[in-house]
Amino acid sequence: MFTPKYPRPDTAPMPTTTPPTTYSPAPYNPVPVPVPTASFSNRPSVHLTPGSALNLVAGGGAAVLVLGAVLVSMLLAVAITAASVAVCAVVIRSILKSDRR
């Protein structure tokens, strides 16, 4: 009842075969791409005078100092928080240990 029903070998249709097609690729002919030329701008280039160079250095130094102060204060806040959590853990552990006695 549950076995598959196969056709007899003589009644099965014969497979048809087609001859293989030959592959003949087209020759590769690359198209030359035009090379872009450098365009010259009418805008003047930036010239640094001693005064503007000094302002640039002073501004960069101020930015480094402000960024350093912010990062150090954040590190200090994390360190203080970690120390206070550690102290609280020790105190709570001591309270729980003395409560068991």
- CA pseudo-torsion sign 53, 59, 62, 67: negative
- CA–CA distance, 87 with 95 (Å, rounded to integer): 12
Residue in this structure with the two tokens 């048809």, named with its chain if needed? 16
Instruction: Note the pLDDT tens digit of each residue in 37-91.
Output: 877 777 777 788 889 889 999 999 999 999 999 999 999 999 999 999 999 999 9
Residue 12 lies in a domain: no
Kindly state the average pLDDT of the residues 21-39. Answer: 82
- CA–CA distance, 66 with 6 (Å, rounded to integer): 85
Residue 1 lies in a domain: no
Residue 82 lies in a domain: yes
- Is the confidence at residue 101, as pLDDT, over 80? no
Specify whether the CB–CB gap between 48 and 56 falls below 8 A. Answer: yes
Residue 8 lies in a domain: no
Residue 95 lies in a domain: yes
Q: Tally the domains of the chain.
A: 1
Q: Domain range spanning residue 99?
A: 76-101
Residue 26 lies in a domain: no
Residue 97 lies in a domain: yes
Residue 90 lies in a domain: yes
Q: pTM for the whole thing?
A: 0.45
What tokens appear for 68 in the block? 């350093």
